[in-house]
Amino acid sequence: MLTFTVEKTDSLARLGRMLLPHGTVSTPCFMPVGTQGTVKTLTPVEIAEAGAEIIVCNTYHLYLRPGHKRIQAAGGLSKFMGWNRPILTDSGGFQVYSLASMTRVTDEGAEFQSHVDGSRHMFTPELVVEIQEALGSDIAMCLDECPPYPVNRPVAENAAARTSLWAGRCSAARQPGTNLFGIVQGATYPDLREQSAKSLVALGLPGYAIGGLCLGEPSAVTYDMVGLVAALLPADRPRYLMGAGYPEDIIASVRLGVDMFDCVLPTRNGRTGTAFTSLGRVVIRNAKHADDPAPLDEACDCYACRTFSRAYLRHLFVVGESLGPRLLTLHNVRFFQRLMLGIRTAIEQGTFESWSSDFLARYQANTEPAQPE
């Protein structure tokens, strides 16, 4: 079961608390991504120490390997991966379209070929709910159809309609107690977004996600769509913007009333050597860091910043040592949790606008360009 309470607002920004089977989550929250049942390079203890209260895992990946029945037999995903806290599972719809090949989508479901071994599978709305229930997810997502950006109107219309159809079937299939979120589609067409939101709200689900954004469209368009949809969603249910990870986008969306975020950005960029810091992005391989005794971020309290110089971190990346990706991932995950803590504190104090301006002024002043190859 899910209980969501908005404890404070600052204009449209909301400070909230979400009670889930495996624990409580303060919102606005950022959920690190642990696609295959592990937030890449990190232990569950490190994820918790970084301040994360909920993570996102992936139905498509875990269904293929090791298999949801195996995880169910092991006592559920939280127990299997040693993370005794809330987990949201994405439905796998996005991965079916982006990773699998030979995907054929009909109203029945999405038929696809595994990216692992080429075997054929069919995801129906009912099956993805069943898989997520087997995993023991605290929050399960409906199967959706997520077209790429840009997409023409007939395709967007069809995908949004099918997503709503499937949401109804997911809702009908779920066990009592399964916290199922609907996903608003409609690409960048305001009237389709509105239709999609209204049809999902009619299902009375415990929470709603905004999907099909952060796919390369201009930020102004993203924010228009987020604002439009958020205003149509019920005030007493959590709102989740899928795939938003840049601090600018998170802050802009909190301002529009979004409560939950996830993105691979902190973990993926950490592995490739880009750190998010209070003074902007740092590309650790850049030669300017070769003799720098300073930590990644003077303002950060993570183990990497408390222990190592930029010079050492750069050395690890230059010589290809896996401790480098691990330490930058740890730092980035902590950075995003500190960002959310800053946001929550500002909402609590009614200073979200000024806090955001200050944060972004520092953050955007010093960001380094990526290293030229």
CB 363 within 8 A of CB 247: yes
Q: What number of CA atoms fall less than 13 Å from residue 53's CA on the CB side?
A: 18
Determine if 114 is a binding residue for a copy of itself (CB under 8 A): no
Q: Which is nearer to a copy of itself, 89 or 124 (CB)?
A: 89
Determine if 264 is a binding residue for a copy of itself (CB under 8 A): no
Cα dist from 58 to 35, 108, 137, 356, whole Å: 5, 21, 10, 31
Determine if 307 is a binding residue for a copy of itself (CB under 8 A): yes
Contacts of 15 (CB under 8 A, 6+ apart): 6, 7, 8, 9, 26, 27, 28, 344, 347, 348
Active-site residue, from 10, 90, 138, 259? 90
Of 9-17, 243-251, 319-327, 359-367, the window that binds a copy of itself (rule: CB under 8 A) is 319-327
CB of 70 to a copy of itself, least distance (A): 6
Q: Which is nearer to a copy of itself, 316 or 343 (CB)?
A: 316
Determine if 294 is a binding residue for a copy of itself (CB under 8 A): no
Indicate if 224 belongs to the active site: no
Q: Which is nearer to a copy of itself, 100 or 254 (CB)?
A: 100
Among 50, 81, 213, 244, binds a copy of itself (CB under 8 A): 81
Residue with tokens 């109203």: 107
Active-site residue, from 10, 249, 259, 262? 262
Determine if 17 is a binding residue for a copy of itself (CB under 8 A): no
Q: Which is nearer to a copy of itself, 99 or 323 (CB)?
A: 323
Burial of 9 (0-12, 13-18, 19+ CB in 10 A): middle
Determine if 80 is a binding residue for a copy of itself (CB under 8 A): yes
Indicate if 292 belongs to the active site: no
Of 234, 236, 341, 339, whose CA–CA distance to 7 is shortest? 236
Determine if 290 is a binding residue for a copy of itself (CB under 8 A): yes
Q: What is the DSSP string of 211-224?
A: -S-SSS--HHHHHH
Instruction: Give how many residues touch a copy of itself by CB under 8 A.
Output: 38
Of 95-103, 182-190, 205-213, 323-331, the window that binds a copy of itself (rule: CB under 8 A) is 323-331
Q: Which is nearer to a copy of itself, 82 or 150 (CB)?
A: 82
Cα dist from 88 to 30, 69, 181, 262, 353, whole Å: 12, 18, 10, 10, 29
Among 315, 341, 350, 367, binds a copy of itself (CB under 8 A): 315
Q: Which is nearer to a copy of itself, 44 or 147 (CB)?
A: 44
Determine if 82 is a binding residue for a copy of itself (CB under 8 A): yes
Cα dist from 16 to 3, 8, 160, 236, whole Å: 10, 7, 29, 10
Of 36, 53, 43, whose CA–CA distance to 115 is shortest? 36
CB 47 within 8 A of CB 39: yes
CB of 114 to a copy of itself, least distance (A): 13
Determine if 99 is a binding residue for a copy of itself (CB under 8 A): no
What ranges make up the beta strands (E) of 55-145?
55-58, 87-90, 101-105, 110-113, 120-123, 139-141
Q: Which is nearer to a copy of itself, 38 or 103 (CB)?
A: 38
CA angle 173, 24, 9 (to 5 degrees): 100
CB 88 within 8 A of CB 54: yes
Site residues (vs a copy of itself, CB under 8 A): 36-38, 40-45, 61, 65-66, 70, 73-74, 80-82, 290-291, 293, 303, 307-309, 311-312, 314-316, 318-319, 321-323, 325-327
Annotated catalytic sites, by residue? 90, 262
